[in-house]
Every structure is written in C-alpha cells, then in structure tokens.
A and B are shown apart, each in its own frame.
Chain A
Amino acid sequence: MSAAGPANITEATRSGRVWLGMMEDVVPLDDAYLERLRRRDPEALRSIVDGQGRRLYRAARGMGFSKSEAEDLVQDVFVTFIESIERFEGRAQVGTWLFGILHHKSQERWRTVVREELNDPVDQVFESQFDARGSWIRPPAAPDQHVGAREAADAIRDCVDGLSPLQREVFQLRQVEELSAADVSKIVGQTITHIGVLLHRARTKLRSCLEGKGWGRSR
C-alpha cells in the first residue's frame, strides 16, 4: 500500500492504474472511472462520496471539529479532490490522497501549521513507570478487569481533548482509520519515526487520562 501512495498530495504521479482504497475491500479505479470523475458524472461522484464521505467525516470529528465544521470540511475535501484530479493519475490510494487533503484543509481551518514540541512532559510520565534497569515500577493493570468497552468509549471522548492537534490526528488515523505508519507519514508530512513518537505520546496521555477515570488503574 505504502509503495503505491503519493509522496504528498501535490506530487503529480505517473499515469496508470489507480485504486479506490476502502477499509476492507480494494476497488479498482481505472482511467475510465477517473475520466468520469473529471466529467463530474453523477454516478461516479456518488460512488466515491458513498465510499469515503463518512469515513472522512468520522476522522474530522475525531480530530476535534464540530458536526457542522466536519460536514463543511468533507465537502471542501471532495471539491479539492475533483479540482485537482488531473494530478491524481498515478498508482495512488484514493483514501490516502483524500486524507492528505483533509490534513491540509484542517490546518487551514486552524490557521496554523501544526507542529509538535520536541519534548513533551508526557515522555517523563512514561519514563517514570520504569526503574533504571527498565523494569516496571508501576505495573499496568489489564483494563478489562475494571470497565467495559462502552464505558471506556465514553471516557475516551473527554481524554482526546488533552492531546495536541497532531497527536490527535495521528492517533485517529493510526488507531481508528487503521492506516499504516507509512501512509500517515505521507498524509501529515512527518517521518515514520516521528509518527511512532506521536502515537506513543497519544497512547500514554490517553492511558494516563483513562487511569484517572478509574480505568486500568495501576496495581
């Protein structure tokens, strides 16, 4: 998947076979289909919006946008996709391309390029769980001993507000959309190593926040 994706959304790629990446199934997207999209054929437009629209909406909401903001954002993503479709002729994943547009649009909305601090206090929180030999000082408890998935889902909605915008976006794309680190790296323009750091920080903050709510409290 990663080898076929664009280096970034502005990179024009070679013509050839294109794939419409769904979560589970991968639908071939050939040149004829792309031509129909260029002509704004209603049926072709409908199929791509049906396949990706709610997924993009879910991601936008997960990144912290309100219902109306998320709906506007998804519309803007598709408008930009269709307007820039001339550049989408390579062996790229439509899903990755669309999420790349979503990333750029969300940064426009925030009116800033989101950057991550080199050091985050949460790194120390993680470090403090281990002794000098790297063994657990405060061992974690298995979460299913304390609370069910539904209650944790309710709790996590509050906890994600404590993440930085980039941590939240990476967590959303890696854990909810289940995109690979390589694809998320292309979407947000960070190295794969840094994607790992951002995911680690997000997970550490969420675990810490959920522990504070009584979920998976250390023994």
Chain B
Amino acid sequence: MMTCKDVSTLVSTGGLSDAPLVRRLAVRLHLAMCRHCRAFRRQVEAVARSARAAAAALEVEPLHDFESNIVERLRQ
C-alpha cells in the first residue's frame, strides 16, 4: 500500500513515467482515492505551467537581429 508520502515523492521527483507498471497503477489508484495527493499533483503541474508562462516572456526578449548576429559571428 503506497502512502501519501510515497506518491507525492514519486510525483515530485518526476520518476513516475519510469516506474514499473504495477507501481504506476498503485499511484493511479491512490490518486483516485486521495484528494490531498491530487491537490499536490495539481500544485506540481501548476508550478510547471507558471514556469513555462514566465519563460515564454523571456523568449521574445532578444531583438529581431539576434539570430543574424549569431550567424554573422559564425561566418567569421
């Protein structure tokens, strides 16, 4: 029987996708029954979404000649 700590650790380390099938099924069963662990997983997913949203703003920072300047330097 997996505990909340087991499940949240597996979710947080990102090791779920590499876990054996039996373990993944046990996690799925636990999540179906435990609203606290579902909330934890939503927190983890929300942190990732927020980080990607913050990163999207960074990607547009360089000016339009950013790529041209790199290519110019590579040709030297």
Interface residues on B, range: 35 or more
Give B residues with C-beta under 8 Å from A: 3-6, 9, 12-15, 18, 36-40, 42-44, 46-55, 57-59, 61-62, 66-67, 69-71, 73-75
Provide the residues of chain A in CB contact with B15, threshold 8 Å.
181, 196
Interface residues on A, range: 35 or more
Given A53-B67, A67-B61, A203-B12, does the pair A58, B43 have CB atoms closer than 8 Å?
A: no
Given A49-B70, A75-B69, does the pair A196, B13 have CB atoms closer than 8 Å?
A: yes
Assembled-state Cα–Cα distance A118/B47 (Å): 25
Provide the residues of chain A in CB contact with B42, threshold 8 Å.
142-144
Provide the residues of chain B in CB contact with A160, threshold 8 Å.
51
Which chain B residue has the least Cβ–Cβ distance from A67?
Answer: B61
Min CB gap B65→A, angstroms:
11
- Main SS class of interface, B: helix
* Residue A36 at the chain B interface, CB threshold 8 Å: no
A203 & B73 in contact (Cβ 8 Å cutoff): no
Min CB gap A190→B, angstroms:
13
Provide the residues of chain B in CB contact with A157, threshold 8 Å.
54
Min CB gap A142→B, angstroms:
5
Provide the residues of chain A in CB contact with B69, threshold 8 Å.
75
B4 & A136 in contact (Cβ 8 Å cutoff): yes
Assembled-state Cα–Cα distance A216/B39 (Å): 9
* Residue A5 at the chain B interface, CB threshold 8 Å: no
Which chain B residue has the least Cβ–Cβ distance from A175?
Answer: B48
Given contacts A58-B58, A176-B52, 10 further A-B contacts (CB under 8 A): A40-B74, A54-B66, A61-B61, A62-B58, A140-B40, A144-B46, A175-B51, A199-B13, A206-B51, A207-B47
Which chain B residue has the least Cβ–Cβ distance from A74?
Answer: B70
Which of A79, A136, A156 meets B50, CB within 8 Å?
A156
Assembled-state Cα–Cα distance A49/B12 (Å): 34
Provide the residues of chain A in CB contact with B6, threshold 8 Å.
134
1/0 contact trace for A50-86 toward B, CB 8 Å? 1001110110011000010001001100110010000
* Residue A104 at the chain B interface, CB threshold 8 Å: no
| Selected interface stretch from A9-17, A90-98, A109-117, A146-154 | A146-154
